[in-house]
Structure 1
Amino acid sequence: MTEPAYDFDLFVIGGGSGGVRAGRIAAQAGAKVGVAEEYRMGGTCVIRGCVPKKFMVYASQYGKSIAKSTGYGWSVGEVSYDHSKFVAGMHAEVDRLSAIYDRNLKSAGAEIFNDRAEFVDAHTLRLKTSCKIITAKKILIATGGRPWRPSPAELPGVENTISSNDVFEMGTLPKRMLVAGGGYIAVEFAHVFAGLGVEVCLVYRGDTVLRGFDEDVRLAVHEGLKEAGVRVITKTLLTRIEKTADGLSVKLDNGHEVKADVVLMAVGRQANTEGLGCEAAGVKLGENGKVIVDEWSRTSAPNIWAVGDVTDRVNLTPVAIREGHAFADTEFGGKPWYFDHADIATAVFSQPEVGTVGISESEARKLYGEIDIYKTRFRPMKNMLNGDQTRTFMKLVVRASDQRVLGVHIVGEDAAEMIQMAGIAMKMGATKDDFDRTCAVHPSAAEELVTMRTKWVPEVI
């Protein structure tokens, strides 16, 4: 039987990091590739995520750095901050990066459609704006995720809030902001706006921020928020948001009220599959609309794959890129492989920031029983003259039976830079003895990772 003629060998739905990488690699391997993106090329990371967020983190740190420079002999005159000027510069860089994504795809030979693609069946897509029908032998879903907010029935007045997508469009700073949530997005933006001089209150339903991270890391970040001047209210939910002559009045389930000019809802994300037509294509979805895949990123439909946040495996940009690359190499490059999701180094750009790789102490105890813990907390050399009392925290989680390092956790300046290197050691299966044999770089904060020798023993009460 003759195989049907398709318009494309591969059609990618979504022009984010994972989809663009997959499309480019497949096109370079000789496949006829089409990519549909309904908004702007670059996806969450470039347009409304990692990249503009990191610029905002940098902006929020400069004021503190200027103040601390006096301890090193600098005399600084009048200091002011122009948020509109910063936002203009940030968007110019985002535009530049988005154009690079577009250019790289076209240079590889892929065809780009600035439109929303929806399934008609497993091999057929309809472009929503143009109504064009497209067929493809293989299809990759790379539509990412989007912020989740409760419905007006669940939280009256929620329509008066903004999401993390909207933060980057704020041309002026509010005087007061309430951040709802305790995950990394909530924590990062609470620090950002506090650093820019906004009066910030963070409200979280849990007892400590960053659920899922190592407990010592969570406590250090929680304390860091308070030290940054953020008012932290835990074990509390928002029940109603009302517009008033003085901004917004936020009612809490503890009976209290918080006044704010802006309420940022950072209470979770969900897979961006609504209205995609996955049912028509035979693609099974799971909780929060995620696309269910196997380790090869294959969906329940034999000719359809999915990568990135839409699968809700590990929702990080570098992971989406690796998953997309693995898919393209496997299906079009003759080099089959799949991405191993174990021991992925990651960072939270709180202030001080978090770098972590591997598993937490509690996870290690559940999995392996007997473990060794090494940890240290110290005031970095840089802070000895500038008056900053912030301390750096480091922790190693080690399996007692063979001294394999199971987790490395850092809270402190440049934690993200350090954890990238520690991630290499973890991926290679490094032991505590390997860390001990490594000569320190002195003077540096990172040297503490290879000089911790004393096992931590919990206090007996």
Structure 2
Amino acid sequence: MAYEFERKQRIAVLGGGPGGYEAALAGAQQGADVTLVERVGVGGSAVITDVVPSKSLIATAEASNSIGDATDLGVQFFVRGASGKPARPDVAINLAAVNKRLLSLARQQSEDLKASLIHAGVRLVHGEGRLDGTSGIIVSTAPGDSGTDFDRIEADTLVVSVGASPRILDTAVPDGERILTWTQLYNLKAVPEHLIVVGSGVTGAEFASAYRALGADVTLISSRDQVLPGEDADAARVIEDVFKRNGMVVLSKSRASSIVRTTDGVLATLSDGRTVEGSHCLMAVGSVPNTAGIGLEEAGIQLTESGHIRVNRVSRTSMPNVYAAGDCTTELPLASVASMAGRTAMLHAMGDAVNPIEIRNVASNIFTQPEIATVGWTQKQIEEGIAQGDIYKLPLASNPRAKMMGIKDGFVKLFARTGSGTVIGGVIVAPKASELIFPLALAVEHRLTVDQVARAFPVYPSLSGSITDAARAMHIVR
């Protein structure tokens, strides 16, 4: 008697960043035959050259700041000088050691992710890949890579998660030594004497904040009225005030027309003719998707003018069996969104139950000092009438735990639907705002009212108590 066995669904994933990793893992967990192609390492740029190393650097900067700020709490650091009298020591930063540590952390994280995929049964291929229509991936394996004899990977479903790279301007070409992208900063052996940062978006603001805390003189060149132009205006104002108070030079409404290397540094020329001299320059002017030359157009996959892959709310492209996730798509360029998109794509492809991604419910964070965390509708959308809501803002300085910790900057801002009191968004500016935003993310996702949030018991004293206080202040009288 002959038996027919159902063939496993074949999944091929191009790119091992957060989106590709999560897609491959989800596919393997559901019994698919999964192959993942990655040219650098599992985790992609998010783990190896972006999120993990940058946030590790920021953690070092926070540690440096905490030592300097401890004086406000009555903690003083002194050494005995030559005369025997106390002298206040400088906080020294060994940037070479810092960079060695954070790159080691990135490699370890990549290896941990790789081990998880292998344990789940995912086949890993190290090499350059491109789509061969919608039924496979052609791979050029990396030299010296053993056990990867694939020329073409056949697949029923394809997932593209190739990420993005720093945007390069013809007028400021990085050389990896003085003019740098954010992926090249980790080659520095010492803290820059004077770092010029071009671009005041999330990446520029984060690195400007970190390097100022590490002791570098920093000049931030912003083409807009205010730093972080796409963020909550109150939050951006707090951050800019902190930047200036800490000695950073912020050049607003200024555009860098060229960056050139000099004998011992860099020279930035602004569009109005002014010049700024520094030791190094970080170009933080956005990113471009890594979608060119990998067979997308030939496969009939729709792209935007910027080269991003168009996807729907289940991460499907214009071709039914091809999905995409991460910074190469039209979704929010966040690692958390990439991971969710990759998993959503695989659940949908395998016929499992899936909830379409609701971008408005995504919590995001900017790792400046203090941090800015947001979720849901924005104040600007409420003021423009796009959403109907009430706004309540509570300064963090009134929080008892904040007073104990010496925190003077920041706030909790809550948005609630007019009439019903349903929480529709919020902003938190505080140390570790990335940890504090989660209760608001839960409230937005599950449509809790301010009264329901207010009924939860916060620890006293705690920074999270300000969330409950703001919710109580927005009580809906019945």
Q: Using structure 2 for the length normalisation, give the TM-score.
A: 0.87
1:394 matched to 2:412? The reply is yes
Contact 1:215 1:360 (8 Å CA) reproduced: no
Contact 2:8 2:32 (8 Å CA) reproduced: no
Deviates more, 1:63-72 or 1:301-310: 63-72
The correspondence for 2:160, drawn from 141, 145, 159, is: 141
Q: Which residue of 2 aligns with 1:184?
A: 202
Letter matched to residue 145 of structure 1: A
Q: Write the distance in 2 (CA, Å) between the matches of 1:383 and 1:80.
A: 28
The correspondence for 1:81, drawn from 85, 93, 101, is: 93
Q: Write the distance in 1 (CA, Å) between the matches of 2:386 and 2:173.
A: 47
Task: Give matches, 1:237-386, under 5 Å.
Answer: 237-332=255-350, 334-367=352-385, 371-379=389-397, 381=400, 384=403
SS of the residue 2:158 aligns to = strand
Q: Write the distance in 2 (CA, Å) between the matches of 1:302 and 1:225.
A: 48
Q: Write the distance in 2 (CA, Å) between the matches of 1:384 and 1:396.
A: 21
Which consecutive residues of structure 2, in runs of 5 or more, have no partner in the other structure? 1-5, 79-88, 143-149
| 1:124 CA displacement | 3.1
Contact 1:248 1:260 (8 Å CA) reproduced: yes
SS of the residue 1:281 aligns to = coil
Deviates more, 1:33-42 or 1:77-86: 77-86
Q: Please identify runs of 4+ aligned residues in structure 1 that moved more than 4 A.
A: 5-8, 156-160, 380-386
Q: Which residue of 1 aligns with 2:62?
A: 61
| 1:184 CA displacement | 0.9
Contact 1:6 1:137 (8 Å CA) reproduced: no
SS of the residue 2:180 aligns to = coil
Q: Write the distance in 2 (CA, Å) between the matches of 1:174 and 1:377.
A: 35
Contact 2:34 2:122 (8 Å CA) reproduced: yes
Task: Give matches, 1:94-105, under 5 Å.
Answer: 94-105=106-117
Cα distance, 1:73–1:19 mapped onto 2, change above 3 Å: same
Which consecutive residues of structure 1, in runs of 5 or more, have no partner in the other structure? 456-461
Q: Which residue of 2 aligns with 1:207?
A: 225
Q: Which residue of 2 aligns with 1:126?
A: 138
Cα distance, 1:205–1:82 mapped onto 2, change above 3 Å: same
Q: CA RMSD in A?
A: 2.4
Contact 2:377 2:387 (8 Å CA) reproduced: no
Q: Which residue of 2 aligns with 1:405?
A: 423
SS of the residue 2:328 aligns to = helix
| 1:20 CA displacement | 1.0
Aligned residues: 447
Q: Which residue of 1 aligns with 2:20?
A: 19
Q: Write the distance in 2 (CA, Å) between the matches of 1:385 and 1:33.
A: 52
| 1:383 CA displacement | 6.3
Letter matched to residue 37 of structure 2: A
Q: Using structure 1 for the length normalisation, give the TM-score.
A: 0.90
SS of the residue 2:132 aligns to = strand
Q: Which whole-Å deviations, capped at 9, do the CAs of 1:283-309 have from their partners, x for residues lacking one?
A: 111132110111221111222111111
Cα distance, 1:440–1:20 mapped onto 2, change above 3 Å: closer
Q: Which whole-Å deviations, capped at 9, do the CAs of 1:308-356 have from their partners, x for residues lacking one?
A: 1111311111111111112222223633443222211111111011111
Task: Give matches, 1:9-48, under 5 Å.
Answer: 9-48=10-49
Deviates more, 1:132-141 or 1:435-444: 435-444
Q: Write the distance in 2 (CA, Å) between the matches of 1:317 and 1:280.
A: 28
Identity %: 28
Q: Write the distance in 2 (CA, Å) between the matches of 1:332 and 1:369.
A: 36
Letter matched to residue 180 of structure 1: V
Q: Which whole-Å deviations, capped at 9, do the CAs of 1:374-428 have from their partners, x for residues lacking one?
A: 1122425566577x57322121122223222222111111211110122111111
Cα distance, 1:368–1:51 mapped onto 2, change above 3 Å: same
Q: Write the distance in 2 (CA, Å) between the matches of 1:344 and 1:68.
A: 33
The correspondence for 1:92, drawn from 104, 107, 120, is: 104
SS of the residue 1:165 aligns to = coil
Cα distance, 1:81–1:156 mapped onto 2, change above 3 Å: closer
Contact 1:117 1:128 (8 Å CA) reproduced: yes
Q: Which residue of 2 aligns with 1:429?
A: 447
Q: Which whole-Å deviations, capped at 9, do the CAs of 1:164-216 have from their partners, x for residues lacking one?
A: 11122323221111111111111100011001101101101111122222221
| 1:147 CA displacement | 1.3
Cα distance, 1:414–1:336 mapped onto 2, change above 3 Å: closer
Cα distance, 1:110–1:428 mapped onto 2, change above 3 Å: same
SS of the residue 1:177 aligns to = strand
Deviates more, 1:235-244 or 1:192-201: 235-244
The correspondence for 1:114, drawn from 104, 126, 129, is: 126
SS of the residue 1:450 aligns to = helix
Q: Which residue of 2 aligns with 1:458?
A: none
Deviates more, 1:124-133 or 1:210-219: 124-133
The correspondence for 1:415, drawn from 426, 433, 437, is: 433
Contact 1:7 1:135 (8 Å CA) reproduced: no
| 1:265 CA displacement | 0.9
Q: Write the distance in 2 (CA, Å) between the matches of 1:173 and 1:246.
A: 15
Cα distance, 1:424–1:157 mapped onto 2, change above 3 Å: closer
Cα distance, 1:133–1:431 mapped onto 2, change above 3 Å: same
SS of the residue 1:319 aligns to = helix
| 1:129 CA displacement | 4.3
Contact 1:8 1:135 (8 Å CA) reproduced: no
Letter matched to residue 50 of structure 2: G
